[in-house]
Amino acid sequence: MKLIKVKGIVIREVAYKDNDKIITILTDTLGKVSAIAKGAKKTNSQFLASSQYLVYSEFVLYQNTGYFYLNSASVINTFYNLRVDLDKLQVVFDMTKIINSVTDENQDCDKILQLFLNTIYVLDKYDKDKKMITNVFKIKLFAILGFAPGQDKCSICQKKLLDEQNKLIYYDFVSNVFICADCKKDVDERRLVKLSFPTYSAILYIIRSQIKKIFSFELKKYTELEIFGQVFTDSIMSGL
Ligand SMILES: [Zn+2]
């Protein structure tokens, strides 16, 4: 029996038979996998903690007749503060729902795991705006998945947008591109989201920075970023 060691976080748990659970784990090396945790519902089970939603552990798995089973597990982080804060838990629940819908079983998702762990760590430790955290997470998630909009040039006149510091910049969610204030008149206004230059720069920063640093930026107001995050991810998810 070949044993496979992975690190991963449980993003879904389902009761199975009388005492077992099927858990979906976002892992560092196997992608997203479902595994059977035998006896996990018993109070004396060695998998009692590690088979719970949102617990990050080191798992030892084995495969039998096409299914993964837990052989052993040791908990790394239970994110306890998140579990006892219903507002934060709701935010996490929404994030895992999105992750589940955009990832396939066994698809490589090391970066998505890093992003998710980093985001819930920030949510757990700091008192930052929850809506902002969700939207930064979503923007980076879809950038990792390859959906980042055409970024630093106006898609119509090819002008460099980083030189347009005193002007507004527009996001065209139908084409998933940015356009400059001068070209705005050529586009149907209903498909445009207006962004101030600082918000546009923050979006670029989130898309381009290392996962660990995505929350290291400041804006006076996050409203535009939240609207962008919502529109950007909704339009992509509706096309998936
Ligand atoms: Zn232009």
CA of 128 to the centre of ligand 1 (A): 35
Q: What is the reported pLDDT for 150? A: 77
CA of 237 to the centre of ligand 1 (A): 27
Q: Phi and psi for 63 in degrees, rounded to 5?
A: -110, 135
CA of 179 to the centre of ligand 1 (A): 5
SS3 for the chain is CCCEEEEEEEEEEEEECCCEEEEEEEECCCCEEEEEECCCCCCCCCCCCCCCCCCEEEEEEEEECCEEEEEEEEEEECCHHHHCCHHHHHHHHHHHHHHHHHCCECCCCHHHHHHHHHHHHHHHHCCCCHHHHHHHHHHHHHHHCCCCCECCECCCCCCEHHHCCCCCEEEECCCCEEEECCCHHHCCHHHEEEECHHHHHHHHHHHHCCHHHCCCCCCCCCHHHHHHHHHHHHHHHHHC
- Here the tokens at position 42 are 């018993």
Report pLDDT digits (tens) over 77-105.
Answer: 999 989 899 999 999 999 999 999 999 88
Q: Which residues of 58-77 are buried (b: 16+ CB within 10 A; e: fewer)?
A: ebebeeeeeebbbbebeeee
**Average pLDDT of every residue of the chain:** 94
Report pLDDT digits (tens) over 182-214.
Answer: 999 999 999 999 999 999 999 999 999 999 999
Report pLDDT digits (tens) over 137-189.
Answer: 999 999 999 999 977 899 999 999 999 999 999 999 999 999 999 999 999 99
CA of 159 to the centre of ligand 1 (A): 6
CA of 160 to the centre of ligand 1 (A): 9
CA of 230 to the centre of ligand 1 (A): 24
- Here the tokens at position 53 are 């939603």
CA of 182 to the centre of ligand 1 (A): 6
Q: What is the reported pLDDT for 210? A: 97
Place of tokens 């898309």: 207
Q: What is the pTM of this model?
A: 0.93
Q: What is the reported pLDDT for 108? A: 82
CA of 225 to the centre of ligand 1 (A): 21
Protein residues within 5 Å, CB atom, of ion ligand 1:
154, 156-157, 159, 180, 183
**Separation between Cα atoms, residue 159 and residue 72, nearest integer Å:** 56
- Here the tokens at position 151 are 């970024």
Q: What is the reported pLDDT for 128? A: 87
Which domains can be identified in the chain, with CATH numbers? 1-127 (2.40.50.140), 161-239 (no CATH)
Q: For 121-141, what is the mean pLDDT?
A: 93
CA of 187 to the centre of ligand 1 (A): 11
Q: What is the reported pLDDT for 60? A: 98
